[in-house]
Chains A and B, each alone.
Chain A
């Protein structure tokens, strides 16, 4: 009998996925020349793939239950990621007011990308901690 529930296993898979993305991103930063790149497109494809796999696994295992503890843990994680996204929004607005512009669309997309990555990581880690604390 597995010690981890379906949602916790999925969180570990997400964690591994995000770490892979971070690793890919570091490699990209170290080895790519300036200019337009395919990184964001790759990330969107990865996200789409992961969502598809998750839906497929969930469809295959019909006995998967999302109970009140799963929902409680998810709400804790969502609160953390929401806080980070709000903080990011405030930072973007302050930068806009401070500088008068956002320099470029690429710069803004870069900020949003990092913000989403940090928010996703915070949500996943916080949910994993919550699962372990009430395991």
Chain B
């Protein structure tokens, strides 16, 4: 295998292929697009969290000049009006019932956006209110009203071995894993840490809110342009809604302005497509950021967890019960629960484990993917307890972790691929970078935490490369360029393999009518799976050209010697393009190489790879106000090989910054049934001024992944440890343990107050109660 230093294009930080277009504002996003005769839609949203729809009168809206049509539950009878890749529980517009404040209840289609907006005021809806169920405890209470009182079909990409769904009461999904004998292990443990943790409701803020344009044409074919992260998942849902064959649905995704999970799976596309179907016009729906807040959020999680060690500091057991508040519809929460259940174990050898997870329906904004899929929610409690146990053991937290981390080839989950990374090495590197051994300045605390995520999702990834006679190459990829740089990385791989300059490679995609199936763009899979598919497609194209070369040279294939970019026979050398021209005797002809990756061979074991997160922070606490700021941040991307080192590092920085966001600031707040802070003014995301004063971004390149050249994915791992890092560092400097994110100034201040008060009362009582 080629090693760093051997590569011409790969493992170099080439200029991004989309950099100039994005910096100059000429890159095309869905919101930039207009179709001929395009109309606009606006959505009327429910003011109630839980209510029966008694009647909808849209006659006045329909009569308003400029209004083309109004879509309500009354119009969707000819469709299969539910979607969802996991559970088909989500109506494209409310049917019979509303389940959260902000749920679409009608859409007006008009000649322009303002007319559509004004016409919303003309729609009269009569509701019969039910008691809203706004938290997990109310949803699980005996006799609680069922938020979904009918059955649903399983989605086509449910992601569970058992494809049946089993909604019990308000429990959308249960996941259970267990090995060893947890009860026995806790009885004989030397130390136990036990507690309840809470990870808040969050919004995976992306600069671009949801937008889609749908064109249901006169021939009954549907084309949708969308900001979707997973175009092929959307295609399937649309094919089901309109009962169409897959080739009649074309989903095109231009550049996407960030997703972080919020754009995974189907969102507004069925509604916009139904608007086009109903009105006979191409229709665009552009949501505002405030509407995006009412479309999807991240699951909040209450985690009851206990972890046990023996006297030598070996982990012996972990048990947890996780309750996710999944909101009104399943979206991707069943998979969030599945992944969190696996990920709470951490990168450790733990002989006795029992995890029980529940994704619970409530009358709040539906929750779905958030960068790292459940890992941030469970790494916070898991890694907080690692520090609690280290203290009980009087061990250094880094040494305690090192004692328990799985080495390469060891298993952390009996049914999963063994660890394919150097986790102890990563931890040592980050600890050394932060100089954990050095004395701390006053009010400073340090912590290094880690996570292991079963990443890559289900490996079905198909790719094509087109090799032209003029030396140019196109890569046809169904992976979405969502800002992560995949168009650049995939082009690097093609340039490396085909021996052409990087600038001569063009990325085409995503377009479900042109590019082959790729399950999704998420779970850090694109470099690993699509990158490998592109590499294999290049090799397949080369194999074809070599056959042609043998004919051109008039020799046997075995007599040709492959050199990068072409072949040699004796003194004579021909490049791939030269061979193609010789072969076809005409300019312009091109050939296609393709690759079909599926769950087989070295991709049989799951996960595709383990995504490791190791992050260290040093914080500075203002104990008067409780405000925490990051003094230092250190990350390491254990990515096998960084195809593009600079972008790999910036993925880690971005991920850690998101982790800091929920660690310190971000939290969606409900007051009764209303979301109170669903605007960018009130929902506090990190700013440049919040960034750590010292940032260290490291890479571990051991070429130990199943991706191209031993690469593995990155970009999610560094989110996970940050919350626990901050909580642990705060405990180290201030002696207060906070088990709820975000760790806001007031929460720190209150904890410090309580500590002072209890110290004062303890010192007086201790005096009285002290025994001789």
The answer to whether A and B interact is no
Interface residues in chain B, defined as those with a beta carbon under 8 Å from any beta carbon in chain A = none
